[in-house]
Amino acid sequence: MNGRSPAGVVAGVDGSAPAAAAADWAAREAERRECPLHLVHAVNTGTVTLSPRAGAAVTDLILKNAQAVLDEQLDRLIAAHPTLRITGDVVPRDAAPAILTAAEHAELAVLGTRGHGGFASLLLGSVSLRVTAHAACPTVVVRGSGTAGGDILVSIRDDGDVPALRFALREAEISGLPVRALHSWATVVADVGHTAPMADELGEETALHEQLLRRTVDAIHPDYPDVDLRAEQVSGATAALLVEASKRAALLVIARHAPAPHFGLRLGSAVHAVLHHAHCPVAVVPL
């Protein structure tokens, strides 16, 4: 077993409720994309400190229990999606590297917010964070239920975010939902009365951001002419605006930019915020 899945949708499962919800979302997505779904159940068998015979028996028991968990999820999803090709593997490895390996050639990786192994108080588990930070393909973290009939919300930071917009437009094309492209920006006010921008300067800055947004949208929207796309630019804190807007969204899409050299998080602050607090599933698209 090399742990790599066929091209399609990969979902991590572990028997937890968030992972089951993610698998359900992944199955519906695979059906829309007309591609297979592959489930990965990773288990760390640990360092055996017993006798060789006892250690082998413990490892075998762990793997058998993991296979039972996987089989339960496979049976459930196959019954609900009888025409969908669904496969699965138990991988004796830590969850994050197992899912990253499985998703190397996938269209999409799908995860729950957290599994059995983390602290119940955490809003997002370490596996989901690690996979979204390093996956070569887009990753969806299924949180909340999303708004049925809501739009697909995509964050546009700059005109390098075309891959995120393209992902959102494709999702809209296969789901029939509209897209709302949101570009947010913040004015710098250091000392009111001295460096606060004047009204005409704010107007010029607004116009520049509007041009940036239109340039980004116009570069890709013609490839998806049937998708209803609304573009909006607004001043304010990106993370807060996206979390609030996610209340009315079916899916939030955000780009994963390269981390700043020498410091900073692998995932930017806005990505971290929406992964922890969004009210709908979040798709993180690597650039």
Over the stretch 145-161, which tens digit does the pLDDT of each residue have? Answer: 777 789 999 999 999 99
**Cα 213 from chain centroid?**
23
Assigned token pair, 249: 């969204």
**84 shares a domain with 20:** yes
pLDDT tops 50 at residue 210 = yes
**125 shares a domain with 98:** yes
Q: What's the confidence (pLDDT) of residue 6?
A: 56
Is 194 strand, coil or helix?
A: coil
**Closest alpha carbon to 29 in 125, 155, 116, 146:** 146
**Closest alpha carbon to 65 in 25, 92, 28, 27:** 92
**Boundary residue ending a domain (117, 142, 167):** 142
Neighbours of 17 (CB within 10 A): 11
Domain presence at residue 95: yes
Q: What's the confidence (pLDDT) of residue 118?
A: 47
Residue 264 DSSP symbol: S
**Ramachandran area for residue 202 (φ above 0: left; ψ -120 to 50: alpha; else beta):** alpha
**Boundary residue ending a domain (142, 166, 200):** 142
Q: How many residues does the chain have?
A: 287
Domain presence at residue 3: no
The mean pLDDT value of the chain amounts to 86
Top pLDDT among 182 and 188 is at: 182
**85 shares a domain with 20:** yes
Top pLDDT among 24 and 58 is at: 24
Top pLDDT among 240 and 188 is at: 240
Domain count, the chain: 2
Average pLDDT rounded to a whole number, residues 22-38: 96
Amino acid occupying residue 12: G
Q: What's the confidence (pLDDT) of residue 1?
A: 44
**174 shares a domain with 74:** no
**128 shares a domain with 35:** yes
**155 shares a domain with 282:** yes
| CATH code of the domain covering residue 24 | 3.40.50.620
Neighbours of 150 (CB within 10 A): 19
**155 shares a domain with 131:** no
Q: Domain containing 61: what range?
A: 9-142
**pTM score over 0.85:** yes
**Boundary residue ending a domain (89, 123, 142):** 142
37-42, strands of its sheet edge to edge = 86-91, 37-42, 9-12, 108-112, 139-142, 282-286, 249-256, 151-155, 179-185, 229-235
Q: How far apart, in whole angstroms, are the C-alpha atoms of residue 133 and residue 200?
A: 40
Amino acid occupying residue 29: E
**132 shares a domain with 15:** yes
